[in-house]
Each structure stands twice: as C-alpha cells, then as structure tokens.
Amino acid sequence: MKGVIFVELIKMAEATFGEKTVDSVLETADLANGGAYTRVGNYPCAELVKIVMAFSAHSGISADALQTKFGHWMMQVFVTHYPEFFVDKPDAFALLESVDQEIHVEVRKLYPDAELPRFDTRRPASNHLEMLYSSPRPLDPFCHGMIEACLEHFGAPGQITRTAHPRLENTTTFDITLTR
C-alpha cells in the first residue's frame, strides 16, 4: 500500500489527537518500522489496520468510524492535490465511475506494481449508482467515507447502503441513491 496513505493517516491523527498522543500511540502499536513512513514507500496494509486499531483503543472511537473519517480526509487530500481528477466531472456519480475507468488507469502507468481495488459501477436509475468494491483488504468503511465525502464535495445529499456481496468474496456493494 502506498506510503502516502500512511502519511496522511498519521497527519489526520495528529490533527485530531495531537502530536504527543500520536507519538505515544505509535510507540505502543508495535509497528515494523516504528511508525516512520515516506510518501514514496510501500507498506503492508496490515500496518494500516494496526494503526487504526491503536487509535481506536486509545480514543474509544470504533475502528470503522475512524476508517470512515479517514475516507473523508483522503477525499479532501485528493481534491487539494489532484484537482485534475475533478475537472470535467459534472457530478458525484461521474467521479465515482471514473475511479476504475480513468484514475486507476493513470495510477497503473506510474506504479505498474500497485495493487488496486476494483470499483465496478452500474446505474440502475439516473439517481441511483451501484458500486461493487472488490479488494482483499478490509477497508469498506474507508470507502464508505470517501463516497460520503464525494457526495458532499458535489453538494449532492444521498443515502449510502453498504452490503456484503451474497456470493463474491471480498466484495461489497454500495448502493448510492441521491435524495435530491
């Protein structure tokens, strides 16, 4: 998993809990490299889960809620650092559809060895998007947070329901219905 995720996660933790807390939590989290991450590095996903668990234990906030919060944070990072992803996207659905079709294509050019999740989308109705998230990593709440943040970014309130796929392993369905 790209180092940028780890760096941003720690930044979020610092913003939320303060540097001292982050220092002490990281020291207790039993991390392979003592919590030192660089944006350009690659780190196992299990490390990310460990960090989230550590902050959850420290703060009493559930791991899922922390992941969702981090989803929001990352969406903001993308908006700030990769405005080109958003340039010609008229609405939230257009952006969500472009994740697999455009953004990940570009990511693969830069990092041929990146292990990217899949986002298959379908639009049963104009205000309804079905998104199938397939990844061996247990980051469903993180995705949920990102989708929420995306709707907020485009000013489009909606409902998001998350259900594990009945047959496919490691696959979660997000049903996104715009309410306005």
Partner 1 sequence: MTDASDDRVSRSRHERELQARAEAEALLEEKSRELYLANQKLAQHTATLEQVVLERTAEMRLALERAEAASTARSRFLATMSHEIRTPLGGLLGMIDLLSMDEQDPQKLELLNYAKSAGVGLSRIVNDVLDFSKMEAGVFLFEEENVDLRALIESIRIFVASQEHGADRKVITRIADNVPKLFLGDATRIRQIISNLVNNALRYSNDGPVIVRASARDHAGSLLLRVEVEDFGVGIAESEIGNLFKDFTQIANPLTAAAQGTGLGLAICKRIMNGVGGTISVDSTLGEGSTFWFELPVEVVTHPDAQGLDGSTTARALPPGGITGRRVLIAEDNLINQKLLLTYADRMGLKADLAENGRIALEKFAPGKYDVLLMDVAMPEMDGLEATRRIRDKWAAGQIPPILALTAHVMDAIEDEARQVGIHQIVSKPIPFEELKQAIETALSPETGQVPPHREAPSAKTAEHPAAATAQRIPDRPTLATLMSEEAHGKLFGIFGAEGLADLASKFVSDSNERIELLLAADAAGDTYEVSQQAHSLKGASITLGFDEMADWARQIEHQETQRHNASVAETARRFQARLRELQAVLPPA
Chain residues binding partner 1 by CB under 8 A are 19-20, 23, 26-27, 33-41
Q: How far is the CB of 82 from partner 1 (least distance, A)?
A: 20
**What is the number of other CB atoms lying within 10 angstroms of the CB of residue 137?**
14
Phi, psi for 118 (deg, rounded to 5): -110, 140
Q: How far apart are CA 72 and CA 157, in angstroms?
A: 15
Measured from the CB atom, is 26 or 66 closer to partner 1? 26
Measured from the CB atom, is 108 or 122 closer to partner 1? 108
Q: How far is the CB of 139 from partner 1 (least distance, A)?
A: 23
Q: How far is the CB of 6 from partner 1 (least distance, A)?
A: 10
60 contacts: CB under 8 Å, gap ≥ 6 = none
Measured from the CB atom, is 22 or 129 closer to partner 1? 22
Query: What is the bridge-based pairing of β-strands 158-164 and 171-178?
Result: antiparallel
Q: How far is the CB of 40 from partner 1 (least distance, A)?
A: 5
Measured from the CB atom, is 42 or 62 closer to partner 1? 42
Residue 48 has which token pair? Answer: 């990310």
- The answer to whether 60 touches 29, Cβ cutoff 8 Å, is no
Q: How far is the CB of 44 from partner 1 (least distance, A)?
A: 14
Measured from the CB atom, is 10 or 143 closer to partner 1? 10
Nearest to 45 by CA among 77, 96, 3: 3
